[in-house]
Structure 1
């Protein structure tokens, strides 16, 4: 008899593009720590459920996959989308549905990412930037649910935008250059410089936390190190570990200025 292949939950659930973990988790962690609320916790469940639903949905749509694998993926996607819907409704019920208005700002970027993802182009630069933008705006929704002043909630989202958007360009350029592929180093460095300038302006005006400038400077140094003439020869897992450490530090610095 042919051997039956077991279906592991992690294979159905966990995204293969490990960089997406930081993009998704950092804004959620910042929102939960800097603007804690029961409604925010429900929103976090909704966001994470949608994030995890992406892979099973893709497997379910893959006609070349084994039928048993597709069925399992379909059930998992159904459970996760149900959890996301429940979390979203609870967030609106506890914090007020009008308080979820910042999600409308993230909607165009989220739709753009889904469009590219459905075309199988989720790793295109435009798709990754759209995904990073959508997630980076989430702290504003957490702040709104926690009844923070609009300026404070906006500052958290602005700081996360300055963290994630240049990072996408820098890490893409570094990894592509390591593989011998065309890499846009110049735009990545310009984005980091621009982010540092904007961080200085936002911190000086009081819109963003004071730590925003320090984080931007740290990320600029990282960009110059990775994309400069003396760039280290790091493997993708090492780059991921570096970004996870930088992201955790950024979240804590922004949440506890």
Structure 2
């Protein structure tokens, strides 16, 4: 008998714990076990991996992750209503003689935590992120990308497309540069609104981020954040104007970049060159 066979349905969990999805928390729950298993599979082979999940809600993705050979799952939940639901799952999963600790639960704000300090390596993050904090969470994790083997994250489709966008496209911007400078970024799976409860107004998508072997030092990452904020803050301006506060034409000349170009035309390597000069 599998774990899923022994557990109540997700709809039953939601009803018993009053887990109506709240817009203020950016919540939209996936309930189809087959679809949830496909999301978990996007993370690849999790054998022996320590997985952190942010925003488990009623626990659908948590169940799918526990059905893999992962060493363990640490669930971070800020919604006090969902905590008892995940605690029930934790007690079921960890029961045994002797008891195990395959599932840990922390009631906390993931924005305030150093997630890499919570679990040993090899570690991954797999999460259906709350819509309202997905981007700031991602940027925080990119700052410590060296700590992670892989990030498998669900966003609104528009955000996912911005992460994976190529230069000289409408979606290419600050998020694409930061993500692709530190990781290989792939859009792995699109999910229609009707798959969620309640259905959002937009499609969602799963993005896979595999950190590069060499990562920027913290000072260099901060320089890239300043650079991309300035460059894309006024993206219709030529770079000599948008980067005026950072050195403008002189900085661009040192980097060998035409000051009349616009930010969206620069490759990741050119942004890297500018950030190192800063």
* TM-score, normalised with respect to structure 2: 0.29
Higher RCO (C-alpha under 8 Å, 6+ residues apart)? 1
Higher normalized strand content (fraction of residues): 2
Q: Which protein has the larger Cα radius of gyration, Structure 1 or Structure 2?
A: 2
* TM-score, normalised with respect to structure 1: 0.31
